[in-house]
Amino acid sequence: MEFSDIDQYRQRIERATTQINRSLATVPEILLVLGSGLGSLADQVENAVALAYSEIDGFPRATAPGHSGELILGYWQDRQVAVMKGRFHAYEGHPTADLVLPIRVMQKLGVPGLVLTNAAGGMDPAFTPGDLMLIRDHIGLWADSPLKGLNLDEFGPRFPDQTMVYDRELGDLALRCAQELAITLHEGIYAYCGGPQYETPAEIRLLRMLGVSAVGMSTVQEAIAATHGGMRTLAISCITNFAAGIQGQPLNHQDVLKVGASAENKIIQLLSRIFARMPDLRG
């Protein structure tokens, strides 16, 4: 972020926070971000108040197909939630700071938990499209940092620690819940690639050498901003396709959406158990 923009950015956070706060009696416990093809969970939110991103003063605008762009406030599994149906991606042309503006708004409101979902390409030989993967760590070296520019001291320190971006206790809980439900939940490292083009087979071979299991075009910036602001983060990928070159077939967005939609019930089932069992994050 340019030096001159930081006051404007703070004001946008402030305006969005004020507006969202008008629809809230109490502070949500969890922000849940729904990835490509995973949007139908939003229909299950009870006492829902939906705000289109385009109506939220200060918010960026979503453009990607499969991302309709709504913030839904309400309850799911008896937890007070804010659900992002659609997120902001760098490949849409948004400045990096904008990708995490909703995260900042939630931090401003005092929301303690973040659950991220996404669609990702799988390169681990054990993965099949339709499988789920718990993100234990990430490689975001090719992502512009959402913390670049003057530090927002009110959220966190200039040089935040990244040894535990993804909450271990919540991750372990996710694995236990998956086991009880007999749902395959792999664990692995997610690598960010900016897109919008899919990766080349050579890029995927490189990432595989680095120990990466899944690749996608989101999540990392949000998780960084979450640790900076002290939120506890759980992240789950839906493996929608074999990453480029793994099986030799070309990739396309329609297949990604289709596999995402077919795995949706599974991820909803898993998340509902996790939400039912989660410790009180406000505690």
Give the shortest CB-215-to-ligand HPA separation in angstroms. 5
Q: Is 278 a catalytic residue?
A: no
Residue nearest to ligand HPA (CB): 121
Query: Which residue of the set 9, 16, 29, 36 is catalytic?
Result: 36
Query: Which residue of the set 29, 64, 67, 178 is catalytic?
Result: 67
Q: Is 252 a catalytic residue?
A: no
**CB-wise, 121 or 146, nearer to ligand HPA?**
121
Q: Is 94 a catalytic residue?
A: no
**CB-wise, 82 or 244, nearer to ligand HPA?**
244
Helices (H), 119-193: 168-181
Give strand ranges (E) for 45-104.
Answer: 46-52, 70-76, 79-85
Query: Which residue of the set 145, 253, 261, 262 is catalytic?
Result: 253
Query: Which residue of the set 70, 92, 199, 222 is catalytic?
Result: 92
CB atoms within 10 A of CB 164: 13
Helices (H), the chain: 6-21, 96-99, 101-109, 168-181, 201-209, 220-228, 253-262, 264-277
Q: Is 253 a catalytic residue?
A: yes
- Asked if 96 contacts 192 with a C-beta cutoff of 8 angstroms, the reply is no
Q: Is 91 a catalytic residue?
A: yes
What CA–CA distance (Å, rounded) separates 150 from 130? 41
Tokens of 239: 């493996």
Binding residues (CB under 6 A) for ligand HPA: these are 119-121, 193, 198-199, 215-217, 240-241, 243, 251, 256
Q: Is 36 a catalytic residue?
A: yes
Give the shortest CB-189-to-ligand HPA separation in angstroms. 14
Q: Is 228 a catalytic residue?
A: no
Q: Is 178 a catalytic residue?
A: no
120, containing H or E segment: strand 113-122
Whole-angstrom CA distances from 201 to 68, 93, 205 are 31, 25, 6
**CB-wise, 231 or 256, nearer to ligand HPA?**
256
Helix (H, G, I), strand (E, B) or coil at 184: coil
**CB-wise, 178 or 238, nearer to ligand HPA?**
238
Give the shortest CB-203-to-ligand HPA separation in angstroms. 9
Query: Which residue of the set 9, 62, 89, 186 is catalytic?
Result: 89
Catalytic sites, residue numbers? 36, 67, 89, 91-92, 119, 217-218, 241, 253
